[in-house]
Amino acid sequence: MLEYVYQTTGLLLIAFAIQSFADKNSAKRWGTGAFWLIYGITFMCGPLMPHWVTGLLVLALTLLATGGFMGVGTYNCTDDSTKAKSAITLKNKLFIPAVLIPIGTIVVSQCTDLGALTGLGISSVLAIGVALVITKGSATQSINEGRRLIDGIGWAAILSQFLAALGYLFSQAGVGDTVSQLVKMIVPDNNLQAYVVAYCVGMMLFTVVMGNGFAAFAVITTGIGIPLLIIEQGGNPAIVGVLGMLSGYCGTLMTPMAANFNVVPAALLELKNKNHIIMTQFLPGLVMLAFNIVLMYTLAF
């Protein structure tokens, strides 16, 4: 069932690609169209292609993104005045499709054997249908708006997948063991305070590099949290794990690698300074990190 969700996603991306190729007013229509076409093919045909072919497609995506071949185009979207009038008429009904997605995901994942990802896909399709009924819009409008949004986000739309894969590779390569050995070489033996600082700061820094707190958690907790804090020092696993993950989220506030949180909102809000969100969040992130260190030291041991 999940494969059908991937194929539906691929079809939508290919539709965006076709629209981009047909956009004669866009100076970068070929590069943008090629990017979404390749990305859509990976969703549609991923299980059928040899791994080396998928790898080549990923390299092609990288070249298109870093080479500056992507850009925004022209979109046949609803004008602002019509959107404003529609918002006044519909009011809170506009939130119904958005609420359906998390509710539907939870219901499908808890009441069936399909899993959360499949539930998310089914709920998203249902939400689109409900949105079209409520707004009396058309499927073409939905695709036009979707293309406008994904072009605004650009290559950052796929960053989370790249980072998740990178975190898995780091874990399989034994980076956690290497981190553990380095910490033991630098930090004095049985120094609980230093272990806590190393774990929390390590979670934050690795998340800044990876842009993904879950990827950092797999590596740093394997290297520091479990062997040094939980096994050696007898720390409470629940408290160590929760505050460690929260320390990783502090790093999420500070990095452009966390595209979903920092890059995407800046693009959608059309901010002149794309790092404005990170600059605003940096100090609160450091304050939260300090509190996490103190709480872990006082509560987990």
Q: Is 171 left (phi over 0), alpha (psi -120 to 50) or beta?
A: alpha
Q: Which domain, by its residues, includes 31?
A: 1-67
**Claim to verify: residue 184 and residue 292 sit in the same structural domain:** yes
Tokens 């796929």: give the residue: 158
> Chain-wide mean pLDDT for the chain?
85
**Claim to verify: residue 105 and residue 215 sit in the same structural domain:** no
Residue 273 lies in a domain: yes
Helix 139-153 / helix 2-22 crossing angle, nearest 10 deg:
80
**Claim to verify: residue 35 and residue 129 sit in the same structural domain:** no
Give the model's pLDDT for residue 164. Answer: 67
Contact 186, 145 (CB under 8 A): no
**Claim to verify: residue 172 and residue 296 sit in the same structural domain:** yes
Of 133, 153, 173, which residue is a domain's last?
153
Task: Determine the length of the chain.
Answer: 301
Give the model's pLDDT for residue 285. Answer: 92
pTM score above 0.75: no
- Cα–Cα separations (whole angstroms), residue 272 to 25, 45, 144, 152, 278: 23, 38, 24, 13, 13
Contact 187, 141 (CB under 8 A): no
Residue 207 neighbours by CB distance under 10 Å: 29
Residue 73 lies in a domain: no
Contact 220, 175 (CB under 8 A): no
Rounded-to-integer distance, Cα 170 and Cα 244, Å: 18
Condensed to tens digits (0 to 9), the pLDDT of residues 268-293 reads 677 777 788 888 899 999 999 999 99
Q: How many domains does the chain have?
A: 3
Condensed to tens digits (0 to 9), the pLDDT of residues 162-219 reads 776 776 777 677 776 777 777 777 877 778 888 999 999 999 998 888 777 877 887 8
Pick out the chain residues at pLDDT < 50. Answer: none
Residue 41 lies in a domain: yes
